Structure 1
């Protein structure tokens, strides 16, 4: 168990190492332009990493267009990055996301690209300020935490998580460079339960009530040199007089509202906030001649002479349409309450600017309007507000582990039991009179739980992806996106040390289990057995090594064709998609299963490139774990004759590189009624052993 934990920790540590990205060249304009659909058009390039300006139908800048691969070349499950086109508006919302290219095996010829494209459609309209998690049905919210859950793709969880990570990594890189001011934390909201006795004087002393004064002289100076410089006779006649005498108080906090509004106004405000709980009310009082709004202003709309900015982005102000009275100590004047929607990212506790427009008209007929802006900076005290803890999605690998916790627990129980059964309990298992039935039950669990349910069929795709990652200098984080398979890999590697390739090929391979069932079906149907001769058996076993060498060479020579070449494995058809694929893929997988009725595990023994890799991994094996007697092989050939894998030499030696750990020879070795030397010994006889025979322990 300690070894399992240590190896699993090693893989996690390896995968979490910082990636060394190999940046791909961005697509040329004519290629990326194909993915931008009307009413939008591609603008000019903004940098060398493939970020383009996005234009609307009027030619104005509407956002950004970029590819994910040059900005965030996260390796996919095939080892190659996915490349996805992202259209982002100026406020950080996704306009469109389209797939450009990928090499994910499950989408190349398994499920097809339609599920991946449907997954990408979920991003439209979402903001990068909204935490997103791949895992549960799209649109569901975890109890108001603000997290949006994207519906994943069944049997392709690892690939869509990688796609999501690529999209977010590239998008945030663009936002940091091009979109300063996008909020990184949730806005504060008034603490309705916090109470503090306040007075107008205290509001002044703490800066909660802010004051902006503009004299007529300052107004004249603002328009000096413009055509409107002499268009305000009143300002020129009284330079010391006030043009603007403005008070601003954020009354979202109940304690502050009580310090400025009378009881009736407070009750009205409470009713208003009950209906619009996300509104932040702002009290404005103007005592000079500006007047806050123009004569054309319509109640319950945006004030035409007032504006606001926070983090360089505009804030929408709207009239709350309230008639109210203030307390006696509050300055009197033209008063109104405006509202700001906090859901749009406004944070009352961070500095923002109220902008007040001074408008002048020049000319009698069709006058030309001009304006100057005066700003008042404001920030509400933090103590009156609550700030939800930012809802940060867990790292993708943690989320993947969490979403499969039930399967991981079951697998973590199953694997140690299997190790105990094949290790300390091996002889007891092999000697059980119902051994074949027990083995078939275990293989049925492997096929059903590990294969069809858990999608834990190991494939040559993973080792080739690791090799490609090493070549490209990328990161290994994609291994963690499928923790179920990773745990099986860990168990398989431990099995190399203890038994060789047999643990996986004989006990943990779902397709191998399927072939074994078809072989038993062939025996029940009394079909003839067809096995190649010993000479051809040796020759055919070399084919899988040749296929493995070819796939490794393809990683270097034709990496873009790897996803097609690995189809030599029928695993994706028979296990991953349960035969829902193109007809020729189904025929290919069915061929090996039908052949298995006649030839015992023909694919595993002769063709499987993963089996070839497992044989090489089996070189890590420690001592020989299958006992032999001096009579084995000479003259007794019983084990060799009954070995369906051809893994026993005429000399009686075990060829561990071909041994699938079926334990048939162990059963024979332990059975005094079957093992020829033991049978003869019980009768007081001995086999004649040639003198040249080497005695083996």
Structure 2
């Protein structure tokens, strides 16, 4: 058998193996029962025991964001083993497909992960190129780890108290998103049940200016903020008005509180607050949705709005609600729904920025399924209303920026390689004229070196192989929801695609396919070797 024929057989075997691997996928675009996201009895629609070994009964959904308690029968009673949560009840962080990976997560009473099960994903790379078992093996790395640990993708760094997880080759963005889902979901429930303690922040000391700013002045200085959700953002057709349009602000500050409520109502409200209580107002000036929710019952939780301050979340019960009958500030908009909510926690501080989060039902245009989506706007009381102004805050870098900083040297080397082969390729006519029929090394020397670097450094080293699945993801993002953070999470693929787009317009596909593509370079090199071997 010739070497060339052997290479053909090898390629066929690899293709067959890839197809066999894809046949193992069973959660790709799986049809989940609609009750899974809405029913109080979540575990009637999914096998919660799969992520909580030893449990034989489960509670109804409780808390906000929701979770269920897992029990084991013991001595005629029930022993609490831990908590089970559905990731999409807590966060809608998208993976590379632009859709979240729906994950069932188990955590024991000490905050250690006991099980992880992917119920549904839309990652084409896990269908076409990488077996789904790779994602299962990745998730298994969380078992036994504490929810409060600093867990990141990549190598462990004990000196920084960072626990590293092995990524999935070729699916870096997917596992980065999954890590955020795991830690955020587990952390939210752990804080609710007391495993993780909230951060105690210094309280603000207010300055009463004695002024009565108008509504426009309150908006301009940031004392009143706006949160608008368009109908298209939740999968609905445009109806000439937003899905919801909210105005909100902080009322404890005397200047702001009196401007919004008026002197009498403000004094009455302050007299009703306990030590450490914080009052916020929300009004809806437009929209088809209610921020109070249609399913609210006495004794329950307002499940459409919550406040987040860094990693702490604050929800509202019926006892945290006061009526808001009007706004005193001149020029205030008309509103159809209003409320005053009370944050009853010493962990909350008006001196630091916080976010109002609105949880909406989002319709998936492709499947018609409904999921929860979070929309938020940041609020920070103006510095002029606080003694000493704003405290100094060092915000952590977003995940994508942290990756770029950590791999900056490699990114520079990769970019330099792409620039170098582009410069050489642009001079190919000059190099060809210097070549002869017997001596083609003026061209081949650069090409062969480029092949080796592309295969070894770009392909096996950086795993930066562009593929059609990434193109599909780009188109999906353009049609539904574009997020730069999603693509920036893999810097090498991001840079490579911009390189491809630019060079294809300049010279066609020859530079990428023949020089830069790791798979193309490997194919060409094997063909050359086969020809030399005979």
Q: Structure 1 length as normaliser, TM-score? A: 0.38
Q: Structure 2 length as normaliser, TM-score? A: 0.48
Choose between structure 1 and 2: higher strand proportion: 2
